[in-house]
Amino acid sequence: MFGSLYTRFAQRPIRVLLAYTLFAVLSGGCFLLIQQSENIESLLPDNAESQVRRDFDWLQKAPFARKVLIDLHAQQGITAQQLKECAEALSDDITPFFTKVLSGPPLQVQHNLPQQLLQALPNLVNEADLTLIEQRLQRGALQQRLTTLREQLFTPQGWMTKQQMQTDPLQLWQISAGHLRHLNPMAQADQQQRDFVSRDGRHRLIVADTDVVIGDAQASGTLMDHVQQSIDRTVPAGIVATVVSGHQYTLANARTIQRDLRIVLGVSTVAILLIFVLLLRSWRALFVFILPASVLGFSAAAVALFFPTVSGITIGFGAVLLGITVDFTLHVYLSLRHSDEAAQQLRRLTPPLIGGALTSFLAFSVLLVSVLPGQRQLAVFSMTAITLAMLLALLVMPHLCGRNRRNIGIDPHEPLLVKRSVIWLWSAVMLLSALAAPQLNFDGDMRSLSVSTPALQAAEQQLQQVWGNMRSSALLFAQGDTLQQALTVNDEIYAVVENSHSVDDEEVPPHLVSLASILPSKAQQQLNRQRWDEFWQRQQQSFADNLHHVSADLGFSSSAFQPFTHWLDQPVGVIDLNFWQQAGFSDAISGLMIVQSTQSNETTSRFAVVSLINEGELTSTLQQQLNDVSGAIVVAQGFFRQQLSNALAHDFIRFIVLALVVVIGVLVLWYRRVSAVLLALLPVASGLLFMFGAMGWFGLSFNLFNVVAAILIIGLGVDYGIFMLSRCDGSGCQQSERAVLVSALTTLAGFGSLVLAKHPAMHSIGVTVLFGISGAVLTALYVVPAFYQWVNVNTANDGKV
């Protein structure tokens, strides 16, 4: 059919060119019109049973997700005062670039805080608190406390604390204050300081909030530049400033990619020019690359047709995978350019070309069942691109490749002669690969695909040592349609953790950063007040007697503590958000609360209260207990990575098995001979085995990017097998081995050169392509002909041919 079409349009090539130009323009237009999404959600599983996407959404809301942390470390010779002045100067200098800058806990401590803490106590009190209060009520303890108060009145401090003594002689506000420790995410900071100061006093911390999205490389760069300039201006010699934030990783990635692109593009451009000059030698060969590239827009449009948002990552990978389709135009170019009978050559070329396209098409189709929307988009993109590129190769390329008179007239049936010893060499390499392949690990950790410099790692480590593990705490979300519902769930989470044991010390519960200790739900507050009332009903009479006698002995007047006894008799009101906001805790509380509009209706909101716990404390038992709390969501970064890893590993194994089944199925239907199927599969199998083996020998892991690059190996490897088999049995074109060689070399030049990149993701693609394509092309060019000859000689000897 394609031969006839070629003959029909051969007389009117201008019409073909015009039609192609229209196609290319429309495709380009589609590409420009399609909005690409830059977030990485397309790489997260979206199946119903997976929690990865949900956890990812919650992780974005973590209190430390967008914060920039600056640690200031005083070297020898620097005083605490100098360090403090430096922190103040730096805070002031960076303030214009951030939404909020903190150099101490976000508490605007009011002068009457002890009074407010006392007011809150009946609503917060627990059994442990009551035990402490009961100890203070004992006569001896009371006498000691009132003596101290009396002595304090001789000192100048007594001028200010006299009223507080009268309203709270037992200093019960201290018990409420103990609850505030649950608001401190920095377990290792000096609790006595008003600023973020380390226990040894040699470090200070500045915490800056920003609206800049972590993934925005440009804005991250500007922000980090501002921070660095401020550090240069305000931090003197002898103080070391260490900055830690997610933005730095974005920046490190972006800068590494920029550097890599300069190197890789330089190397690949030189390599492709060499291939062009040595093997193609015509300007018309440019169409070999232009035609496949022009299907990009329509392929992206096909994705947009089936998916609500088109992932930029999908399009990026898709463009890489378009390398497969260069095969089609390359075979047409080399076959027709060196033949006098273009239509006949095209007819001979069409079956292996369609066969190669079909196997690649179906190999990609298995990605449609992936749990990652990005991979499903990639399937649609690649299937469209392969179909269109194949049609362009068969319909348009024949009119563009011209004729090279020098090589015309070569016999297409001339056999390829390869020494049989190649088989032994290949067997040895495959055996070695098979030995090492089992050592290959699958690494689903997204962090290993990101650039992390030694400086960043050292900074993270220092921050963790000095300030605790706050950046990687597990998050416990308590959800509800109302704030009260969320607080009720939060109470349950708090109770579960408080009743468990710390991994480090079984005597105490794990440290939990939680609002529940100062803002329980109304129901819990009522229970606490009930507990408080019952306690004082039991204790009030004996306390009144003790207070009367002890205070009289110390010379206090009978009305000295009337404000306190009067307060005990008064009904106590509920405390709410407003109460703590007025007490100066607005920022501390807002950092642990999330109000989100529901998707369907922006006027209604859902509430979530966040608690933080060290991920190391999250044992499987505790996790199970927390998961049993209705409305609670546990999100731990380590668990999230594990889940993602499992999802990707599962997806990868499924994809490899399905792709091989599909490819083998197509080849069986195509050839209907076991020997032909095995020979056609030999390059792809060898390429994959060599890739696995080489990566195993070098101790490399297989990651998400290797998976996608492996598709390239499968697609190209099967093509190489089909074309070389058609070359061996004389049904194909005489230029097939040259086309396979050029295809492999261009792929290696374009993608194999990525092995020089420092960025882990780009390097991974380079490694996969370098090992996989090298193994596949060498097998296709030398081992397939050798096996073919061997098989045919044996069958000829057996008299079966």
Minimum CB–partner distance for residue 108 and other proteins (Å): 12
**Window 264-323: residues binding other proteins (CB under 8 A):** none
421 binds other proteins (CB under 8 A): no
Beta carbon of residue 74, minimum distance to other proteins (angstroms, whole number): 16
According to DSSP, the β-strands at 593-597 and 605-613 are antiparallel
Question: Which backbone phi and psi does 701 adopt, to 5 degrees?
Answer: -100, 160
Strands (DSSP E) along 19-164, which ranges?
36-37, 68-74, 100-102
Among the listed residues 76, 192, 601, 797, the single contact to other proteins using CB under 8 A: 192
**Closest to other proteins by CB, 192 or 797:** 192
Cβ-Cβ contacts under 8 Å for 449 (sequence gap 6 or more): 703, 704, 705, 760, 761, 764
Among 77, 308, 454, 555, binds other proteins (CB under 8 A): 555
**571 sits near other proteins (criterion: CB under 8 A):** no
Given candidates 36, 82, 143, 161, which one binds other proteins under the rule CB under 8 A?
161
Q: Can you tell me which of 135, 163, 621, 624 binds other proteins, judged by CB under 8 A? A: 163
Residue of 124, 560, 609, 713 that binds other proteins (CB under 8 A):
560
- Compute the C-alpha angle 2/712/367, nearest 5°: 90
Options 77, 159, 406, 603; binder of other proteins; rule CB under 8 A: 159
Smaller CB separation from other proteins, 538 or 549? 549
User: Could you say which DSSP state residue 276 is in?
Assistant: I
Q: Which is nearer to other proteins, 114 or 766 (CB)?
A: 114
Q: What's the length of the chain? A: 801
CB of 147 to other proteins, least distance (A): 9
Q: How far is the CB of 634 from other proteins (least distance, A)?
A: 37
| Of residues 150 and 403, the one with the C-beta less far from other proteins | 150
What is the Cα–Cα distance from 57 to 508, expressed in whole angstroms?
32
HEC profile of 318-373: HHHHCHHHHHHHHHHHHHHHCCCCHHHHHHHHHHHHHHHHHHHHHHHHHHHHCCCH
Q: Which is nearer to other proteins, 192 or 600 (CB)?
A: 192
Give least dist CB 77 to other proteins, A: 18
Nearer of residues 87 and 610 to other proteins, judged by Cβ: 87
C-beta of 109 vs 801, nearer to other proteins: 109
Indicate which single residue of 37, 126, 166, 453 sits in contact with other proteins (rule: CB under 8 A). 166
CB of 207 to other proteins, least distance (A): 18
CA angle 15, 288, 3 (to 5 degrees): 55
Residue 511 CB, shortest distance to other proteins, in Å, is 23
Helical H segments across 672-759, by residue range:
674-697, 704-728, 736-750
* C-alpha span between 212 and 247 (Å, rounded): 8
Identify which of residues 562 and 598 has a Cβ nearer to other proteins in the complex.
562
Q: Closest approach of Cβ 151 to other proteins, in Å? A: 5
Least distance to other proteins, CB of residue 106, Å: 16
What are residue 595's DSSP bridge partners?
607
**Helices 522-553 and 483-498 meet at what angle, rounded to 10?**
60
Closest approach, Cβ 191 to other proteins, in A, equals 12
Binding residue (CB under 8 A) for other proteins from 131, 557, 578, 603:
557
**Cα(first)–Cα(last) distance of the chain, in Å?**
31
Name which position in 193, 309, 581, 590 contacts other proteins (CB under 8 A). Answer: 193
Q: Are 632 and 493 in contact (CB under 8 A)?
A: yes
Dist CA 528 CA 629 (whole Å): 21
Which CB atom, from 195 or from 209, has the smaller least distance to other proteins? 195
Q: Phi, psi at residue 731, to the nearest 5°?
A: -80, -20
- For the CB of residue 565, give the shortest distance to other proteins in the complex, in Å: 14
Gap between the Cα atoms of 364 and 376, Å rounded: 9
- Taking the C-alpha atoms of residue 353 and residue 357, their distance in angstroms, rounded to an integer, is 6
Q: Is position 200 an interface residue for other proteins (rule: CB under 8 A)? A: no
Among 81, 537, 599, 603, binds other proteins (CB under 8 A): 81
Q: Which is nearer to other proteins, 262 or 566 (CB)?
A: 566
Residues 138-157 touching other proteins, rule: CB under 8 A, are 151, 153-157
Element (H, E) at 80: helix 80-94
What is the DSSP-derived secondary structure letter of residue 755? Answer: G
Cα–Cα nearest to 415, from 736, 38, 40, 798:
736
**Least distance in angstroms from the C-beta of 522 to other proteins:** 32
User: Rounded to the nearest whole angstrom, what is the least distance from the CB of residue 588 to other proteins in the complex?
Assistant: 18
Q: Which is nearer to other proteins, 104 or 696 (CB)?
A: 104
Give the span between the Cα atoms of 305 and 300, in whole angstroms: 9
Q: What CA–CA distances, in Å, run from 613 to 59, 71, 75, 333?
A: 14, 22, 32, 63
CB nearer other proteins, residue 54 or residue 162: 162
Residue (35 or 81) nearer to other proteins, CB: 81
**Residue 417 makes contact with other proteins by CB under 8 A:** no
Instruction: Output the smallest distance, CB 497 to other proteins, in A.
Output: 31
Nearer to other proteins (CB atom), residue 80 or residue 270:
80
For other proteins, the binding residue among 1, 32, 160, 674 (CB under 8 A) is 160
Q: Is 504 in the site for other proteins (CB under 8 A)?
A: no
Nearer to other proteins, 559 or 600 (CB): 559
User: CB–CB of 143/550 below 8 Å?
Assistant: yes
Q: Please, are residues 743 and 716 in contact by the beta-carbon 8 Å criterion?
A: yes
Residue 333 is a binding residue for other proteins (CB under 8 A): no
Return d(Cα 204, Cα 71) in angstroms, integer. Answer: 6
Instruction: Give CA separation, 314 vs 211, 361, 713, in Å.
Output: 27, 17, 18
Category of 428 on φ-ψ map: left (φ > 0), alpha (ψ -120 to 50) or beta: alpha
CA distance 772 to 520: 60
Binding mask 111-130 for other proteins (x = CB under 8 A): x-------------------
- Binding residues (CB under 8 A) for other proteins: these are 81, 84, 109, 111, 151, 153-157, 159-163, 165-166, 192-195, 555-557, 559-560
